Amino acid sequence: MALTVRRMTEFYDWMTEVADDRVEDWLLMKTPWPSVGFIIAYLLFVWLGPKFMKNKQPFDLKSTILVYNAMLVVLSIYMFKEFLITSILGNYSYKCQPVDYSTSPLAMRMTSVCWWFFFSKVIELLDTVFFILRKKNNQVTFLHVYHHSSMIVNWWLGVKYVAGGQAFFLAMLNSFVHSIMYSYYALAAIGPHMQKYLWWKRYMTQLQLVQFFAICFHTGYNMTIDCNFPMGFNIAVFLYVLSMVALFSNFYIRSYKKKDVKNKE
C-alpha cells in the first residue's frame, strides 16, 4: 500500500514538473482538483437532481436558456475565429503541428483560446442542469453525461500540457459545430412556434458525426508520421473520438434511421 501511494505521489510530482509553466496561475489550472470537484458535483447532480425534482413542477427557464444559448453561440464563434486566425498567422501545419511553448504573442494567443475552450466545457455543464430542472430527464443520456464530464478532463490536460499544437484542430472544429448547435438550441428556446424552422436538426447530428470522423482521420494520420507532438495525447484523442463516433452513430440510428424505417412501413 505504502509503495502504491509513493508511486502515485511520484507520478503526480512528475506531472507537475512537466506541465506548461505559462498556465500555472490561470483560473482552474494550478491543480486538477477544482476540475475534479466540478465533475463530482456534476455527477452527483445527475444522480440526485431528478430525485429532488420528482414531486416538483418543472422550472420555467425559457428566458435564462435563451440568453445562455445566445452567449454560447457568441463564445463558440469567438473561439472558432481565434483558432482559425491564430493558426493561419502562426503558419500552423494541418498535418503536424508541435506545441509552441514560447511566450510570443501568437503562442500566448493560441494558449489563451485553448483555455477558453476548456472553460467553455465547464460552462456547458449547465446544459444538464437545465434539463433536470425542467424535468427533461430523457435528454440526460449516457452519451450526454459521458461527453460533458469527459471533455473537462480532456481539455484540462490539453491546456496544462499541450496548449496549441495540433490540438487546435479538434477545438476549432468543435467550436464551429457548437456555434451551430447552440444557435439551434437558442431558436428552440423561443417557443414551439419555431419548430417549423428547425427541420435541420437531423443534419446537425450528421455534422457532429462528420466532425468526429475528421478528427479521427487527422489524429490517426499523425500517429503514422514522425511528428513532434506527444504520441500519448494522439492515442488518447484517437480512442476518445472512436468512442464518440460509436455513441453518436448509435444515437443517430435510434433517432432517425429507425424512424425512417417505421415511416416507410
Judged by DSSP in three states, 97 sits in coil
Integer-rounded Cα radius of gyration of the chain: 20
Does 147 qualify as catalytic in the annotation?
A: yes
In SS3 terms, the chain reads as CHHHHHHHHHHHHHHHHCCCHHHCCCCCCCCCHHHHHHHHHHHHHHHHHHHHHCCCCCCCCHHHHHHHHHHHHHHHHHHHHHHHHHHHHCCCCCCCCCCCCCCCHHHHHHHHHHHHHHHHHHHCCHHHHHHHHCCCHHHCCHHHHHHHHHHHHHHHHHHHHHCCCCHHHHHHHHHHHHHHHHHHHHHHHHCHHHHHHCCCHHHHHHHHHHHHHHHHHHHHHHCCCCCCCCHHHHHHHHHHHHHHHHHHHHHHHHHHHHHHHHHHC
**Which residue is catalytic, options 144, 147, 178, 193?**
147
Which residues fall within 8 angstroms of residue 249, CB to CB, at 6 or more apart?
209
134 contacts 61 by C-beta, under 8 angstroms: yes
CB of 110 closer than 8 Å to CB of 168: yes
The catalytic residue positions are: 147
